[in-house]
Each structure stands twice: as structure tokens, then as C-alpha cells.
Structure 1
Amino acid sequence: MTLQRAFFAMALVSAAGACSVPGPNEAPDGIWDPYEASNRKIHAFNTGVDEKLLRGSGQGLSNAVPQDVRIVVGNFVDTTSLPKTVVNQVLQGRLGDATKNTLRFSINATMGFAGIFDVAADLGLPQDETDFGETLAVWGVPEGAYMELPLYGPSTERDTAGTVVDFFTNPLDYVLTTPQKRFKTGAWIFDEVQDRGQYSDTVDSVLYESADSYAQLRLMYLQNRRFELGEEPPASEEIDPLALDTEGF
């Protein structure tokens, strides 16, 4: 089953690589959205889920849970994602960064008590993330069309393929027991929900106060992602592309 899933993931990557699509600066207004009609339906669904399940609870969780607990969970989530980061950095040819993150994982997984403390940062090894979407960008795969995925949120064809592959590229998942995997997933969900609460004012202003929340979220995601990948500088001083994590709504 794992092998079949891996083949399916690589098929998506091949499909993304085969697409001939406009680049960020070649599409009209820098946005290529041929799936807008279906994307807007998914956006309406995601907004409805957010309003019913996350809008109040996320902020409530963020206020109710002590900051030290939120930090510990965030550290654990970062540590358990580091093997995937290392794999992608190797695939991107960033061997120095991969070595640093391997050391960061080793330190936090041991001296940091399974990653709940970020000891490595104090030793000069700060958090450094990447994903297979960025790997595809390094390999020259085009961004593709903008997409909004159910529950997951804004993406592109390239990042969607990368997200699928990332489900299988964390070596840690192949050595953890089933209860440990569930605990890891639960920690990730907790971290995402409390992030929703931390950025509640900004998220609410985009989703519930914008004249067109779909277009606003699309613009913010594309600016943020292209800035992360070095494909485009920030388009406006009014929007800090690093101020908001648009994943998961």
C-alpha cells in the first residue's frame, strides 16, 4: 500500500512537471486561476468550517492554554518535522543546511527531551523549514494554477503535488508506532488550531471583513509563497508576507 501511494505521489509530480503554465510574472496580474469557480466553492466550504469549528475555539484555546504549553507543543511539532526537512534539503542540494538540521534534530530529540525544548536554537541552530513544494521549485517545476484545497486551504498545483509527496518523505513516520503517530498528528492539529487563535484578528479580517475574501486570501498566499521561494519580491509594503501562515483555512 505504501509503495502504491508513493507511485501515486510521483505521478502527481510528473503531471505537475509536464504542465506548461504561466510563471508568476507572466499570467494576468500575476495570478493564474483557471479553477476559480470550483475554488470559490471550496473556499466557501472552508470558511464555513472555520466559522463553525475554529473561529471561536481557536482563539479560546490560544487564550486558555498557557504560553509555555503552546511553546512546548510547537517545539515538538518542529522537531518531528525535521527529518522531512532534511530529506528535502538534500534533494534541493542544500547539503550544509541538511547537516545543520540533522544536528538540530539530534540535539532536540535527546537533550531537548523528544523535542519539547528547543535546545539547538540556543546553540546557534535556529528553526529552518522547507517542503517538497520548494524542492519542485528548485527543480524548475512551474507554479501551476492556483488551487484551494478542502480543509487544507490555499495552494498551487505545484504545492499540492508537493504536499502529497511530503506525506511519505518523513523517515520518522516509518519507525514510529501507531500510537506515536497519532500523538504526533494530534500535536500538529493542536498547534494549527492555536495558531488560528494567535492570528485570529488577521484571519477574521481576511475571511469575514474583506469585500472578496477569496481574492484577498489568494493574493496573500501567492505573495507569501513566492517570497518564501525567492520567485517574487513583496508586491506591497502594506502586506508582510511572513506575518500570516495561510495553511489550514
Structure 2
Amino acid sequence: MKTNRQSRPSLLMLGLILVIVGLSGCATTTKHDPRDPWEGWNRGVQKFNDTLDDYVMKPISQGYQWITPSFVDRGITNFFSNVDDIGVIANDLLQFKLLQTGQDTGRFLVNTILGLGGFIDVASKLDLPKHNEDTDQTLGAWGIPSGPYLVLPFIGPSTPRGLIGLAGDTAANPINWISPAAIPYGVGTLKTVDMRADLLSATKIVDEASVDRYEFIRNAYFQQRNYLIHDGNPPLDDTLEEEMDLELEGLSSANGIAENTEQQANPQP
């Protein structure tokens, strides 16, 4: 009988912990995100973009991936990455990252000259890693707030600051300076298809792993941007920190109640 008397408080403690964690989880999922005041609009636009992707972009990208040899696909991705390094270098300077400016300039020159215009990533083999800097990150590093979450037709997740950053990145891309305009449009279409093909497996993971796909993408967008702006060392979000403190307080309270219950059930002689 002693074993049964000891198991009841343990089950009670487990039950209390599960209830507290469950309630905190429910509160998190139903709570309106203050970063997303335009959620109604955003959900509608995401539904439009998802439909367009299902019926247009995904089939085209799958066909592109099927007919394109892997080394050609890799070369096209490398080429566009090399072109993007021009904007990376400019944003390095705007953020006063002088050492990184030198590294990215060297990377661009090596891949352009030795890598046949960037189709071969020679620089990575020479310990010149790829960095990711854009205008949105520069504005964030300057202290300009992102503004509310905004889903744009054909573009996807963004913010007002991200929209300005996109305009800056587009202007910094030398391919967009070429005339006639059909050339930039054609090259841009190829880049979009190539990027979408590279994300086919990631899309499948998102679809299978997320309960609310919209919420998953929104949170992932903010986390990724925050990660990039702080160079992989983002500060702990205040809201997340408060939720963690509440959960820890709840678990401590549950342990205290369980210990009191166990003491009453098993009084010391």
C-alpha cells in the first residue's frame, strides 16, 4: 500500500504540470500577435500566393528541376549568388563592417574571375564564406523599426521596412540596369524559378510540420530577419522571455503544490 500512496502525489504533480503547460500553450496560440495588425489582409494575400504557387510556380519549378542537370542548377544558383554579392558589399560598407567588406569583395572577384562569372563557387574553397547582407538588414542595424507584418502579392512575407529594402536591393542589382527591359525580366524570372526549385523540399517540411501554416511562416520570417540583423546572435525577445518566466513560475507553483500534497499524504514520523 505504501507504493500506491506514493504514486498518487506523483501523478498529481504530473497532471498539474501538463495542465499549466497546456494552458500556456493555448494562450500563446490564441493570443493576437501585436506585430500583425493586418492579419485579415495578410491571410487573404497568403492564400492567393499559395494558390498561385500550387498551380503555377510549384509545377514550373518541379519541371525545371527535372530537366536541369544538377551541376547546371548549382551553377545558376552560384551565378545569382555572385551577382547578389555586389549588394552585399554595399551593405557591408553601410554597416561599417570593413573586414567583411574586404572578404566579400575578395569573394566576388575570385568567383567572377576564376569561377567563370560566378558559376563555380571557388571562393568557398578558399575560406571566403558567403555572407548575407541586404538593405533591410542595414536599415535594421541603423535602428529603424520593421513596422507591422505585411504579406505582399507575388512577393510574400515582408514589412514596410522590408519593402523599402527590396526596392534598394532591386536598384543595386546591375542586371536591372541592362536594356532592353526584357533582359532583366527574363533573368529575374529564371532566378525566381531557380530559387523556388531549391525550396521544394523546405516547403514540404513546412506543410507537414505546421498546424497553422500562416502563423508558422510569420514567426519564421521575424526570427530569420532578427537572426540576420544581429549576425546570428539575436537578443532574447521580451515577449518570449516573459512567457518563459510565466511557465517557469507555473512549474514552480505546481511543484510546490505537489510537494505539499505529498507531505500531507506521507507525514513524517
- TM above 0.5: yes
Structure 2 portions without partners, runs of 5+ = 1-30, 241-269
Match of 2:170 in 1: 167
- The 3-state SS of whatever aligns with 2:132 is coil
CA 1:30–1:211: 2 relative to 1, 3 Å: closer
Match of 2:127 in 1: 124
Check conservation: 2:137, 2:225, Cα contact below 8 A.
Answer: no
Equivalent residues, number: 204
Check conservation: 2:91, 2:133, Cα contact below 8 A.
Answer: yes
Match of 1:68 in 2: 71
Query: Are 2:126 and 1:151 equivalent residues in the alignment?
Result: no
Letter in 2 for 1:48: T
| TM-superposed deviation, 1:43 | 0.9
Instruction: Indicate the structure (1 or 2) with the bigger Cα radius of gyration.
Output: 2
Check conservation: 1:62, 1:197, Cα contact below 8 A.
Answer: no
Match of 1:226 in 2: 226
Letter in 2 for 1:148: V
Match of 2:27 in 1: none
- The 3-state SS of whatever aligns with 1:34 is coil
| TM-superposed deviation, 1:195 | 1.7
User: After TM superposition, which residue ranges in structure 1, 4 or more long, deviate above 6 angstroms?
Assistant: none
Distance of 2:236 and 2:55 partners within structure 1 = 35
| TM-superposed deviation, 1:130 | 0.9
Larger helix percent: 2
| 1:138-191 deviations in Å (ceiling 9; x for gaps) | 1100121011111111112221211112111235644x4547645542441232
Match of 2:35 in 1: 32
Check conservation: 1:227, 1:233, Cα contact below 8 A.
Answer: no
Distance of 2:91 and 2:211 partners within structure 1 = 38
Q: 2:62 aligns with which of 50, 59, 64?
A: 59
- The percent identity for this pair of structures is 29
- The 3-state SS of whatever aligns with 2:199 is helix
| TM-superposed deviation, 1:72 | 0.4
- State how 1:145-224 maps to structure 2 within 5 Å: 145-171=148-174, 173-174=176-177, 176=178, 178=180, 181-182=184-185, 184-205=187-208, 210-224=210-224
| TM-superposed deviation, 1:95 | 1.5
Match of 1:104 in 2: 107
CA 1:173–1:49: 2 relative to 1, 3 Å: closer
Match of 2:253 in 1: none
Check conservation: 1:88, 1:130, Cα contact below 8 A.
Answer: yes
Distance of 1:86 and 1:191 partners within structure 2 = 23
Distance of 2:101 and 2:34 partners within structure 1 = 33
Check conservation: 1:147, 1:155, Cα contact below 8 A.
Answer: yes
| TM-superposed deviation, 1:205 | 2.9
Match of 1:4 in 2: none
CA 1:82–1:180: 2 relative to 1, 3 Å: farther
- The 3-state SS of whatever aligns with 2:154 is coil
TM-score of the aligned structures, taking structure 1 as reference length:
0.73
CA 1:117–1:109: 2 relative to 1, 3 Å: same
Distance of 1:150 and 1:40 partners within structure 2 = 11
| TM-superposed deviation, 1:47 | 0.9
Letter in 2 for 1:52: Y
Match of 1:84 in 2: 87
Match of 2:138 in 1: 135
